C-alpha cells in the first residue's frame, strides 16, 4: 500500500486532491478512484476464458482482491493471504469483502477482515479458497500449466458458457439459473464443436476448436 496517496500531499484521494477544502469533491474523487480500481479486478470476471491465479509468498491487500475475482486459485506452501487494510485503519473496498464470502464460510472472512492476520496456504486449502497447494515454485508452475492446458483443450464456447452460467447462478435463484442456461444454449450451443469433440474421442486425438472471435471494444 502506497500510503502517500492518503497523505496531505497525495494527488489522487488525499486532502490535496482536486476540490481543495470541499469535502464533497474529495469524496467524489475518492469514490471514483475506488470504483476504477474495483473495475480492474472485475475485468477478471468479465473475461470469457477462466482466469486462474498462482500465489506464492505474500498475497496481501490488492493481491487478495485479485485472487478473489479469479475463477481458480492455486498456491505454494510458502503462500499466505492477508486482508491487511484493517491494519492501516481502513475498510477493504475493491472486492475482497464482496467476493470472498461466496468462496469460503463468512465467519472465516469476518475473522480475517477484522484481525488482519496472516492466513496460511494450508488454511486456505482447508477452507476451499484455493484449489490446490503445491510444495514449491516449480511444482506450482508446472501443475497450474497442466490444468490450464486441459481447460484450453475444451470447446471455448462451452467453457465460456460454463463460466457465464455459474456466475449468473451465484446471484439468482436455481429457477432463474436454469432459465438462463436454457436461453444461453438455445443461441450459443455449437453442434460443430460437439461433433469435433466426439470425433476426437473416437479417433483418439486432440480436438481442434476454432478460437473465439475478438470481442468488440467496450464489451
When pLDDT is cut at 50, 70 and 90, the band that residue 15 belongs to is: very low
Residue 61, Ramachandran bin (φ over 0: left; ψ between -120 and 50: alpha; else beta): left
Structural domains in the chain?
3-46 (no CATH), 52-151 (3.90.226.10), 154-202 (1.10.12.10)
Of 83, 54, 58, 59, the C-alpha closest to 71 is 54
**What is the model's pLDDT at position 6?**
63
What's the pLDDT tens digit per position in 71-97?
999 999 999 999 999 999 999 999 999
With beta carbons less than 8 A apart as the criterion, state whether 66 and 41 touch.
yes
What's the pLDDT tens digit per position in 174-212?
999 999 999 999 999 999 999 999 999 999 999 999 999
**What is the model's pLDDT at position 9?**
46
Residue 126, Ramachandran bin (φ over 0: left; ψ between -120 and 50: alpha; else beta): alpha
Q: List the beta strands (DSSP E) in the chain.
A: 52-55, 58-60, 72-76, 80-82, 119-120, 132-134
Amino acid at each position: 500500500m502506497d500510503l502517500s496517496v492518503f497523505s496531505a500531499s497525495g494527488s489522487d484521494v488525499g486532502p490535496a486532491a482536486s476540490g481543495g477544502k470541499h469535502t464533497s469533491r474529495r469524496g467524489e474523487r475518492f469514490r471514483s478512484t475506488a470504483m476504477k480500481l474495483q473495475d480492474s479486478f472485475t475485468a477478471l470476471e468479465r473475461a470469457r476464458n477462466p482466469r486462474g491465479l498462482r500465489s506464492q509468498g505474500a498475497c496481501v491487500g490488492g493481491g487478495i482482491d485479485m485472487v478473489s475475482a479469479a475463477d481458480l486459485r492455486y498456491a505454494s506452501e510458502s503462500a499466505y493471504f492477508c486482508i491487511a487494510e484493517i491494519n492501516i485503519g481502513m475498510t477493504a473496498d475493491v472486492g475482497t469483502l464482496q467476493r470472498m464470502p461466496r468462496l469460503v464460510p463468512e465467519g472465516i472472512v469476518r475473522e480475517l477482515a477484522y484481525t488482519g492476520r496472516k492466513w496460511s496456504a494450508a488454511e486456505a486449502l482447508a477452507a476451499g479458497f484455493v484449489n490446490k497447494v503445491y510444495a514449491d515454485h516449480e511444482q506450482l508452475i508446472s501443475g497450474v500449466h497442466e490444468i490450464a492446458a486441459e481447460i484450453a483443450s475444451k470447446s471455448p464456447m462451452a467453457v465460456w458458457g460454463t463460466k457465464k452460467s455459474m456466475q449468473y447462478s451465484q446471484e439468482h435463484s436455481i429457477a432463474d439459473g436454469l432459465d438462463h442456461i436454457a436461453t444461453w444454449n438455445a443461441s450459443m450451443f455449437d453442434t460443430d464443436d460437439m461433433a469435433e469433440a466426439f470425433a476426437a474421442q473416437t479417433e483418439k486425438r486432440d480436438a481442434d476448436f476454432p478460437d473465439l472471435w475478438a470481442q468488440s471494444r467496450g464489451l
